Amino acid sequence: MAKLSVNINKLALIRNSRGGNNPNILKSALDCELFGAEGITVHPRPDERHIKYADVFELKPILKTEFNIEGNPREDKFVEMVLKSKPTQVTLVPDSTDQLTSDHGWDTVTHQEFLKNIISIFKEAGIRTSVFVDPIIEMIDGAKLVGSDRIELYTEAYAANYILDKEKAIEPYIIAAKHANTLGLGINAGHDLSLENLAYFSKNIPELLEVSIGHALVCDAIYLGLENTIQLYKRCLK
């Protein structure tokens, strides 16, 4: 059964909108764990519009499950933060500084030398590494060559086309996952996965280890409650 890592960025965005500490991000993360989440994900960006760098250092010592930090390793401040906080996993995402949300995976061929060097630094510190990629065989081969432990499949295309033709939408992801399995790469997935499309994805992706879900889960929690929502997402992964 794949693990559910809850991305708490949206909760931090709500907190920041009023300038106070409501919702309390530390308590929110602990409650997510209490309600069944097997991991907590954060994606701090340079403008700190949701998760702040200070949040990362406060979260690390209190979390009991896996801690996953996403971000662009071209930012020196990000690299320094990861090395100091030593999360369970760092997920490398090629976001630009002012990007609203992640919208593409790494070109692991063009950026091979950079990724190889930065991954070696993280792995030397004992941090598991994952590279955000589109479901393209060449990019998955590149992720193996740069030394990543896992890939995170960027699932927006699957989510966008699920309603139209779910079998066609998931086909490239099945092919990509099977190829990653042959290379010995662990498989994570994330972006726009929801209660509507998660169960089908989980059922069809071989050896899926982890999904990271934030936006849809927080939206569902507004209507269904956080504890119930986390349980519903976990049920999709069974």
Domain residues of the chain, as ranges? Answer: 3-236
pTM here is 0.94
**CATH homologous superfamily for the domain 3-236:** Aldolase class I (3.20.20.70)
Q: Which residues of 200-230 are buried (b: 16+ CB within 10 A; e: fewer)?
A: bbbeebeebebbbbbbbbbebbeeeebeebb
pLDDT tens string 129-179 = 999 999 999 999 999 999 999 999 999 999 999 999 999 999 999 999 999
pLDDT tens string 210-235 = 999 999 999 999 999 999 999 999 99
Write down the pLDDT at residue 31.
98
d(CA 170, CA 75): 33
Write down the pLDDT at residue 100.
52
Single-letter residue type at 24 = N
Is 65 in contact with 40 (CB distance < 8 Å)?
yes
Write down the pLDDT at residue 230.
98
pLDDT tens string 72-100 = 999 899 999 999 999 999 999 996 656 55
Active site amino acids: 43, 70, 191
pLDDT tens string 110-122 = 999 999 999 999 9
Whether the pLDDT of residue 20 is over 80: the answer is: yes
